[in-house]
Amino acid sequence: MDQQSYEKKIVGEKAAEYIEDGMTVGLGTGSTVAFTTKKLAERIKTEGLSIQAVSTSHATSELAKSLGIPLKDLNDVKKIDLTIDGCDEFDPDLNGIKGGGGALLFEKIVAVSSDKNIWVADASKSVRRLGAFPLPVEVLPFGWKHMFGAMEDKGLQPKLRMSGKDPFLTDSRNFILDCHVKEIEDAKSLAKWLNALPGVVENGLFINIADQVLLANNDKVDVITR
């Protein structure tokens, strides 16, 4: 296991310790949260932990089901006590970019439905300013080239995400335009501008959402609180 994979493992497993008996838990998407999900399944079996989970993607649902974690539809729960998710980048204010795995829409809906959000991150995810990681924007397939053009005119350098020879499809059957901004000066204003474009479903800027970040630091985990 390389260093980055090791960091994902220790921070992902550490996050599972924050889950308490009786909770409704949001399970995020990605390789780091996969370690959380597996550790949670282990706790359910060894400790008799009683929880129910809401998934943020088809991939997470399949993993949770395979491990015997009870899943609920978001519409069938009143609230989520805690959501644990990954991030592609986060800044000192705990704002972040998410959506590298294409699940940003469901992730954001689950996040804003949660009392508390914890992100798990390896050392590479901590940045001074957001933007080095391409910003995903989920758009309707209908008229996507017009949204592409508007983003291009704004200097966002969008690129249609592909899966082989075809456009990548999200779980909602939408496209993703990855914006190569490099450095975002005003994330809040950019998020507002993007979501005002007709046809944009959601953007990957997660602002004032994370309450804590568990950050891998070699062999230990640092807890950063907003």
166 is in an annotated binding site: no
For 20-48, what is the mean pLDDT? 97
125 is in an annotated binding site: yes
The burial class, CB within 10 Å (0-12 / 13-18 / 19+), for 27 is: buried
Higher pLDDT, 190 or 4: 190
What average pLDDT does the chain have?
Answer: 97
85 is in an annotated binding site: yes
Catalytic residue among 7, 13, 89, 107: 107
Q: Which domains does the chain have, with CATH numbers?
A: 3-125+207-225 (3.40.50.1360), 135-202 (3.30.70.260)
Q: What is the pLDDT of residue 139?
A: 98
183 assigned to active site: no
Q: 83: closest CA among 36, 39, 124?
A: 36
Structure confidence at residue 199 as a pLDDT band (50, 70, 90)? very high
- Orientation of helix 3-15 relative to helix 31-47, angle to 10°: 40
Q: What is the pLDDT of residue 108?
A: 98
Q: What is the pLDDT of residue 1?
A: 77
**3-class SS of residue 220:** strand
pTM, two decimals, is 0.95
pLDDT digits (tens, 9 = 90+) for 129-141: 999 999 999 999 9
- Orientation of helix 58-66 relative to helix 31-47, angle to 10°: 30
* DSSP state for residue 93 in the 8-state scheme: T
For 159-181, what is the mean pLDDT? 98
99 is in an annotated binding site: yes
Structure confidence at residue 5 as a pLDDT band (50, 70, 90)? very high
Q: What is the pLDDT of residue 128?
A: 96
**Cβ pair 24, 80 in contact under 8 A:** yes
Q: What is the pLDDT of residue 226?
A: 87
pLDDT digits (tens, 9 = 90+) for 64-110: 999 999 999 999 999 999 999 999 999 999 999 999 999 999 999 99
Q: What is the pLDDT of residue 218?
A: 84
| Tokens 């933007």 -> residue | 131
155 is in an annotated binding site: no
32 is in an annotated binding site: yes
**3-class SS of residue 178:** strand
